[in-house]
Structure 1
Amino acid sequence: MTFNDDAKYSGRGVRKSGRRTGLAVGGGGLGLVAIVLLSQLLGVDLTGLVGGGTSGTSSQSEGTALTNCETGADANADVDCRVGLTYDSLDAYWAEQAPAMGIGYASPTINLFEQAVDTGCGSATSAVGPFYCPSDQQIYLDTAFYDELRSQFGATAGPLSQLYVVGHEWGHHIQNLAGTFASADTSQTGPTSDAVRLEVQADCFAGAWLGSATETTDADGVPLLEPITDAQMADALNAASAIGDDRIQEKAQGQVNPETWTHGSSEQRQKWFQTGYTGGAGACDTFAAADTDL
């Protein structure tokens, strides 16, 4: 998926933090795949903070606005600018869709960082992958993760899969606003657990946005995104498959243990992404789905 070259970037909502050192990337010699297996991109661990946990006390850098990002052409050429226009598209979609679902909407912030960052949920390194912090309503992303998708996860990691990653984390923001985090029981694991239902719902929300993304426009009414091609859709589905619990477990430990799943299998993640893409956000009630349909 590419941006319309003439679309204008609003400059809202995306901040870039400076490089911060002092925290080691990785841990104890573990590779990225093993770390992700343990933390599962921090999605579930962080959502537990909303349900009565304690938020971190680390100070947070405000960051600076993106520079040299003005148009869709810039987004097609530069990954930071791509995140910027992705923000504009997601914000336009959810500003309309969330109230239609009975959810009071507030825009999140995307924080682009390198190596390590302090958040409202505590300190984190790039090794944990992209994550959403409900305490400060920010999405944290080191764009080097896209390279890791290729080298560590075997994903194609093209432009649409990059947009999918941001859309997934934005889906967690919608869940936070809806109170879904607070009501979910993330103490259990497994293919039909609330933890998995949270994650595949975020996949579904990402798909719903992309299904309508060509309808979002800039301030002048210019469409932000061009229509999705079959090859680009295959790229997004490839990313969803690559970060399925079963694929990560098989790669990291040579066997699959469904009882420990917290994000869903490759099949589940692809299925719910496609469900959102074809059926819209209204089709994303994963908590109402029977165990056999999840």
Structure 2
Amino acid sequence: MRFNPRASLDTGRLSDRGGQGLGGGRNGLPIPGGIKAGGGAGMVIVILLVLAVNFFGGNGGSGIPGGMLDHGAGTDSSRMADSDRYASCRTGADANDDVDCARVAVENSLYAYWSDLFARSGETFRPATMSTFSGATTTGCGQASHQVGPFYCPADQGIYLDTTFFADVLEGQLGGRGGDFVEPYVLAHEYGHHIQNLLGTMGRVRTQRGASSDAVRLELQADCYAGLWTRAAEGTSDVSGVAIIADLDEGDIAEALDSAKAVGDDRIQKRSGGRVEPEGWTHGSSEQRMQWFTRGYESGDLQACDTFGADRL
């Protein structure tokens, strides 16, 4: 993955919390790509949302279904204490030289893709914020630690990431092979949860565990949304219309699929020393996660990501 050196970067939606000590974690291997429910500190990744809605009604094609946006409270910007980690990230050239600036460029591309899709559907887009931290941090959904893994908090519409996760957990504990597109895949998955929040899809989750549960359907849809963005990433541009991403190749897709495989529920159960028990799944198997990312990538169609309408996952 290479960024266009001429692209301008916007750091306004990102912040870094620095180190805030350890705590608030949970035992066992983390399951990345999750949602942290609102409430007290130390809550596990679990979805406690009700109110079913008909997500895939309204508009046809790849547009945003009309009338389904949840325009709740805006982002809590008071939580966005900043260590100036991203202050030097100004251009795509910086993104090619620095992993922190690459994170900014990926966020900018995700913002450009989803805001454009919403605009073409006549809807106002409200972006997610993105915060990195070390050790632990406080969010609108309670305290989060390194052991939670990357997650999205619906309460403050923020994506949270301890950047040591990729080397320490995804590669070290879960056996992923790594690569420069691993983090973009994870960030795109988390941004997919933000889109689900805006569209009201989270309200469809009633069953929390099992291979065909609503929780799994929500996670697989976020993988599919990550595939949608990946397909369109080279076409995203900065505020001046300059392309953000210069090159995204088959090697990047292979890295995304390898990461999806690494974070499958069956893979995590095996690596944690247990049996594969589909009744305990919350995110989907390795095969399912790769399949739904691929579906989004190959189709480029939002409606192709209707995991809630699928008879088989």
Instruction: Please tell me the TM-score bracket, short chain as reference.
Output: 0.7 to 0.9
1:16 and 2:9 aligned: no
1:170-181 equivalences under 5 Å are: 170-181=191-202
Give the one of 161, 166, 172 matched to 1:146. 166
Distance apart, 1:225 and its partner CA: 0.8
Distance apart, 1:151 and its partner CA: 1.1
Equivalent residue, structure 2, for 1:43: 35
With the length of structure 2 as denominator, give the TM-score of the two structures.
0.82
Equivalent residue, structure 2, for 1:288: 309
1:195 and 2:215 aligned: yes
Equivalent residue, structure 1, for 2:246: 226
With the length of structure 1 as denominator, give the TM-score of the two structures.
0.87
Classify the secondary structure of the residue corresponding to 1:253: coil
**2:183 is aligned with what amino acid?**
Q
**1:124 is aligned with what amino acid?**
A
Specify whether residues 174 and 101 from structure 1 end up closer, same or farther in structure 2 by C-alpha distance, changes over 3 A only. Answer: farther
Looking at structure 2, the residues matched to 75 and 202 of structure 1 have their Cα atoms a distance apart, in angstroms, of: 25
Contact residue 3 and residue 75 of structure 1 kept, 8 A: yes
Contact residue 20 and residue 136 of structure 2 kept, 8 A: yes
Looking at structure 1, the residues matched to 190 and 123 of structure 2 have their Cα atoms a distance apart, in angstroms, of: 17
Looking at structure 2, the residues matched to 287 and 99 of structure 1 have their Cα atoms a distance apart, in angstroms, of: 25
Specify whether residues 78 and 51 from structure 1 end up closer, same or farther in structure 2 by C-alpha distance, changes over 3 A only. Answer: farther
Which stretches in structure 1 are left out of the alignment for 5+ residues?
53-58
Equivalent residue, structure 2, for 1:69: 89
Cα deviation digits, residues 176-214 of structure 1 (max 9, x gap): 0111112221x3311111000000000000110010010
Distance apart, 1:100 and its partner CA: 4.8
Count of paired positions: 277
| Percent of aligned pairs sharing the same letter | 44
Q: Which has the higher helix share?
A: 1
Contact residue 24 and residue 143 of structure 2 kept, 8 A: no
Classify the secondary structure of the residue corresponding to 2:272: helix
1:271-282 equivalences under 5 Å are: 271-280=291-300, 281-282=302-303
Which stretches in structure 2 are left out of the alignment for 5+ residues?
38-44, 52-77
Contact residue 30 and residue 148 of structure 2 kept, 8 A: yes
Moved over 6 A (4+): none
Specify whether residues 176 and 244 from structure 1 end up closer, same or farther in structure 2 by C-alpha distance, changes over 3 A only. Answer: same
**2:82 is aligned with what amino acid?**
G
Contact residue 36 and residue 153 of structure 2 kept, 8 A: no
Cα deviation digits, residues 28-84 of structure 1 (max 9, x gap): xx4xxx2415xx6542655635549xxxxxx84532452111122222232221111
Cα RMSD between the aligned structures? 2.1
Give the one of 200, 203, 207 matched to 1:182. 203
Distance apart, 1:154 and its partner CA: 1.3
